[in-house]
């Protein structure tokens, strides 16, 4: 399908990212059977996968667009990535962040020289603020997920997984706006058509799951998605281009609870020596606590998408114990139930 982001576009993004984004390792998670490998995007210079898409998009801009400066909206990680990439490329950057964005992420963007504009939470407020800034200043937008070069950049995560683990049969990926899973699914499908890609969301912000089930983009009210601890995944609705990838290249999307997210963050520290922010931990949480909802697999990779967590929040989570995380997960039925996605009764 020509409108999907191609592996050729992803490879071109990889070439632009050479020497900028880290080729992150697949870290074995101790004591889990079958083997679980964690793709540690928390080790990127900006602490999250978003660097890939931001640099891919800004570096592809012609000089006249770079000279106008760029603008982006973000819950935090994309803001930091745009600021970081723009600084490397000598481009001025303005980022719009919601008022409830984690300070550690906002300050990281500010430290890279970006101008910070604060708006109300919710995707509509964020996009409206960006539109106003474009109208006033002529900035070039760098969207967090609705952009071919951004998705191609995120897809380099999938290229690396396929190169480092050629026999991977299941890739589990966090879902917010859908840019990461779209790029990863495009890369994995091209490299290993037999491998399945499954997305994971918090159950308190499950718009992408509903979208895949209903085979159309479903929006959740902002006041509902704001409830989850996973600030990186509070997007109200997946993008139009990511949705095309969900429908044709993603097997299923499942959800995890808030307690399971917290437990996965603790277990990542002790089992893989990796720090994850809440949104970054959801794929690992699904593998640990929702295995009964995932397709059977011998070579599993879970993407740890980011590790930019407030120190106080991390200390509180590491110092607590959550009873019943994953309770009943094994009995929730097979992935794909309800007719969603590739291999689950949906049409491709």
Place of tokens 């890369």: 187
The residue annotated as part of the active site, out of 50, 59, 75, 105, is 50
Q: Which residue has the tokens 């723009």?
A: 86
Q: What region does 207 belong to: left with phi over 0, alpha with psi -120 to 50, or beta?
A: alpha
298 tagged catalytic: no
SS3 label, residue 8: helix
3-state secondary structure at position 167 = coil
pLDDT in tens, 189-204: 999 999 999 999 999 9
Cβ-proximal residues to 231 (8 Å cutoff; 6+ apart), any chain:
75, 76, 100, 101, 102, 277, 278, 279
* Neighbouring C-beta atoms of residue 26, cutoff 10 Å: 16
Q: Please name which of 233, 167, 170 lies closest in space to residue 202, comparing C-alpha atoms.
A: 233
pLDDT by residue (tens digit) across 129-142? Answer: 999 999 999 999 99
Arithmetic mean of pLDDT, 73-91: 95
Mean local confidence (pLDDT), 104-110 = 93
Give percent above pLDDT 70 in the chain. Answer: 91
Q: What single DSSP character describes residue 290?
A: -
Look at residue 111 and tell me whether its pLDDT is greater than 80: yes
pLDDT of residue 338: 32
Q: Please state, rounded to an integer, the average pLDDT across all residues of the chain.
A: 91
Angle between helices 240-249 and 148-164 (to 10 degrees): 30
| Beta pairing partners, 112 | none
- Where does residue 307 rank: exposed (0-12), middle (13-18), buried (19+ CB within 10 A)? buried
In the sheet that 170-174 helps form, which strands lie side by side, from edge to edge? 26-28, 36-40, 300-304, 170-174, 196-202, 252-256
* 8 A C-beta contact, residue 247 and residue 227: no
263/231 Cα distance (integer angstroms) = 16
**Residues in contact with 226: Cβ distance below 8 Å, sequence separation at least 6, in sequence order:** 100, 121, 122, 234
Residues 195-215: what's their mean pLDDT? 97
Q: In this structure, are residues 94 and 74 in contact, taking their beta carbons and an 8 Å threshold?
A: no
Residue with tokens 């970081």: 84
Q: Are 172 and 303 in contact (CB under 8 A)?
A: yes
Question: Model confidence at 324, in pLDDT bands (50, 70, 90)?
Answer: very low
**Who has greater pLDDT, 119 or 31?**
119
Q: For 266-305, how does the pLDDT look when each residue is reduced to its tens digit (9 = 90+)?
A: 999 999 999 999 999 999 999 999 999 999 999 999 999 9
335 has a pLDDT exceeding 70 = no
Exposed (0-12), middle (13-18) or buried (19+): which is 232, by Cβ within 10 Å?
buried
What pLDDT, on the 0 to 100 scale, is given for residue 248? Answer: 97
Q: Strand 26-28 to strand 36-40: parallel, antiparallel, or no bridges (unpaired)? A: antiparallel
- Dump the DSSP string for 183-225: HHHHHHHHH-TT-EEEEEEEGGG-HHHHHHHHTS--PPPHHHH
Q: pLDDT digits over 225-279, tens only?
A: 889 999 999 998 999 999 999 999 999 999 999 999 999 999 999 999 999 999 9
How many CB atoms within 10 Å of residue 272?
21
**Residue/partner pairs of 213-220 with CB below 8 Å, 24 or more apart:** 213/338, 213/339, 213/340, 215/247, 215/340, 215/346, 217/243
Task: Using alpha carbons only, give the angle 193, 194, 198 rounded to the nearest 5 degrees.
Answer: 95
Instruction: Report all structural domains of the chain as residue ranges with CATH numbers, in order of start.
Output: 7-48+148-331 (3.40.50.1100), 50-141 (3.40.50.1100)
Q: Write down the pLDDT at residue 142.
A: 97
**Annotated catalytic residue within 42, 59, 75, 305:** 305
The whole-angstrom separation of Cα 348 and Cα 338 is: 15
What are 276's two structure tokens?
């994850």
pLDDT at residue 348 above 70? no
Angle at 132 between CA 54 and CA 65, to 5 degrees: 45
Catalytic site includes residue 59: no
């Amino acid at each position: 399908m020509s409108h999907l982001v191609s592996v050729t576009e992803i490879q071109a993004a990889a070439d632009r990212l050479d020497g900028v984004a880290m080729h992150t390792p697949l870290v074995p998670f101790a004591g889990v059977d079958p083997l679980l490998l964690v793709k540690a995007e928390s080790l990127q210079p900006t602490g999250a996968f978003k660097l890939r898409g931001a640099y891919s998009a800004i570096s592809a801009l012609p000089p006249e667009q770079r000279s106008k400066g760029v603008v982006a909206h973000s819950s935090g990680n994309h803001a930091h990535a745009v600021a970081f990439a723009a600084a490397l490329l000598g481009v001025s950057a303005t980022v719009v962040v919601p008022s409830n964005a984690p300070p550690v992420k906002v300050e990281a963007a500010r430290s890279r020289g970006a101008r910070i504009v604060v708006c109300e939470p919710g995707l509509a407020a964020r996009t409206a603020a960006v539109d106003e800034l474009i109208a006033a200043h002529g900035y070039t937008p760098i969207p967090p997920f609705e952009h071919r070069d951004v998705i191609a950049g995120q897809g380099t995560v999938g290229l690396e997984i396929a190169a480092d683990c050629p026999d991977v049969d299941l890739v589990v990926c966090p879902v917010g706006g859908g840019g990461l899973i779209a790029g990863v699914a495009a890369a994995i499908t091209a490299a290993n058509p037999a491998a399945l890609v499954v997305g994971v969301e918090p159950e308190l912000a499950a718009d992408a799951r509903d979208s895949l089930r209903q085979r159309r983009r479903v929006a959740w009210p902002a006041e509902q998605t704001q409830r989850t601890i996973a600030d990186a995944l509070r997007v109200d609705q997946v993008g139009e281009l990511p949705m095309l990838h969900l429908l044709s290249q993603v097997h299923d999307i499942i959800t995890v609870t808030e307690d399971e997210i917290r437990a996965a963050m603790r277990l990542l520290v002790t089992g893989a020596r990796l720090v994850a922010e809440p949104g970054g931990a959801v794929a690992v949480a699904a593998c640990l606590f929702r295995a009964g909802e995932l397709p059977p697999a011998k070579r599993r990779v879970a993407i740890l998408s980011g590790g930019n967590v407030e120190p106080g929040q991390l200390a509180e989570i590491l110092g607590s114990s959550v009873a019943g995380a994953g309770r009943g997960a094994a009995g929730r039925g097979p992935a794909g139930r309800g007719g969603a996605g590739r291999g689950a009764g949906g049409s491709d």
